[in-house]
Amino acid sequence: MTEAKKLYVKTYGCQMNVYDSERMAETLGVQGYIQVDTAEAADMILLNTCHIREKAAEKLYSDLGRLKPLHDEKPDLKIGVAGCVAQAEGGEIMRRMPIVDLVVGPQTYHRLPAMMEALDRGETALDTEFPEEDKFAHLPKGRGTHKGPTAFLTVQEGCDKFCSFCVVPYTRGAEVSRPADRLLREARDLVERGVREITLLGQNVNAYHGAGSDGAEWGLARLVRDLARIDGLDRIRYTTSHPNDMEDDLIAAHGDCAKLMPYLHLPVQSGSDRILKAMNRKHTADSYLRVIERLRAARPDLVLSGDFIVGFPGESESDFQATLDLVRSVGYGSAYTFKYSPRPGTPAAERAQVDAAEADDRLQRLQALITEQQRATQAAMVGRTVQVLFEKPGRMTGQVTGKSDYLHAVHVDGPETLIGSVAPVEIVATNTNSLAGRLVARG
């Protein structure tokens, strides 16, 4: 019997990369590869990269440098680079790092079998095209590598927004939505494997407009409602959204679809209209706040998360104060905050930069406000009963942990047999990044 080849995948960045890594592992599984947990045990190493933040390429090259001694010890070891840095850097990766045998972009990883055949012939393999064919139609039908009660499902890829700070339109391409029947089939397969919660993914997931099984074009709300009809699927979430794509029926779904969880990540980036225009966001602070009002009217207990960039080129102290004012108006349960980092090839990268020390100071002030709001949101959960999907053992013996409806991490004393189930939990205490609870006896 031929010994199985071993694959190690390292994933950088966003949830979509997590999904892509899983699908690439499944694709290579057809080629006889099984996943292992360490690079040292592997016959093939695949680095699935992210290009959103500054120095992403430098991080890749640093990691490749650390792999060189291992490659020297194992000359037959194959090393591949996938994802957005692969798309942006292309053949430059192979030129700088000869240990790399394969470079594949995020839109062409369905071609991995043919690329692996090239490697077997002693060739290198490079594919960073934006192909016309639907890559998802060529991927394995089952999600055989997936484990656990939660899963990601990519429904939309690409971006047509062209924010002046972002590389996504250049690395992921134009907005494309997957056909609804394929998504429903994939979701049913996941549920059959024990998944209880699915998070729908897209660069602009609420821009989803896929072909429906009835021949009509479905928006995200229609897709959510049809997914909610799947027996055994208890929870649905989606990320990441754009304020301009929050359509009326999707807002309504937050109020009338019980399986759609009361948590929403809706990036705004700045509270200053002047900076929003410079970012090419195509919305204003006020229009964003009006969307929040409508969402909370539909679902009053909705917990909100957001993205913020400080120190964007041209940002003044008054612009930053407008961001703080917006944060105070919304009241976030959590948020991702970043200091602006120029991405080569984007319009904003050519503009005069804000003083680094001033940008650092603004980031610290914004983070302090967000932390205050996060703690207040968590404290308000104490005494409430929430539904928790248990996902894994806790850090302490005899504990299990999971996520509440509001995406808070919750730990309770209980048996591991709870993992994979949803149970009511009374929140009794709040910690820095989690909540403590006790199981509520079912009547």
Return the HEC string of 157-179. ECCCCCCCCCCHHHHCCCCEECC
Cα–Cα distances (Å) from 7 to 29, 106, 271, in that order, read 9, 18, 45
Check the annotation: does 159 bind a ligand. Answer: yes
Lookup: tokens for 23: 């699908």
Check the annotation: does 257 bind a ligand. Answer: no
Backbone angles phi, psi at 335, to 5 degrees: -165, 155
Lookup: tokens for 403: 């996520």
DSSP 142-160: S-TT--SSEEEEE-EE--S
Question: Residues 335, 295, 233, CA angle at the centre, nearest 5°?
Answer: 80
CA atoms within 13 A on the CB side of 373: 22
Token pair 């754009």 is found at 242
DSSP state of 304: E
Check the annotation: does 50 bind a ligand. Answer: yes
Tell me if residue 50 falls in helix, strand or coil: coil
Determine the residue type at 297.
A
Beta bridge partners of 217: 211
3: left (phi over 0), alpha (psi -120 to 50) or beta: beta
By C-alpha distance, which of 419, 417, 383 is closest to 403?
419
Q: Which alpha helices (DSSP H) does 217-355 contain, by range?
A: 220-227, 248-256, 273-278, 285-298, 317-330
Lookup: tokens for 158: 């690409």
What is the distance, to the nearest Å, from the Cα of residue 227 to the centroid of all Cα atoms in its chain? 20
The answer, yes or no, to whether the previous bond of 240 is cis (omega within 30 of 0) is yes
Taking the C-alpha atoms of residue 258 and residue 237, their distance in angstroms, rounded to an integer, is 11
194: left (phi over 0), alpha (psi -120 to 50) or beta: left
Please enumerate, by residue number, every residue annotated as part of a binding site for [4Fe-4S] cluster: 14, 50, 84, 159, 163, 166
Please enumerate, by residue number, every residue annotated as part of a binding site: 14, 50, 84, 159, 163, 166
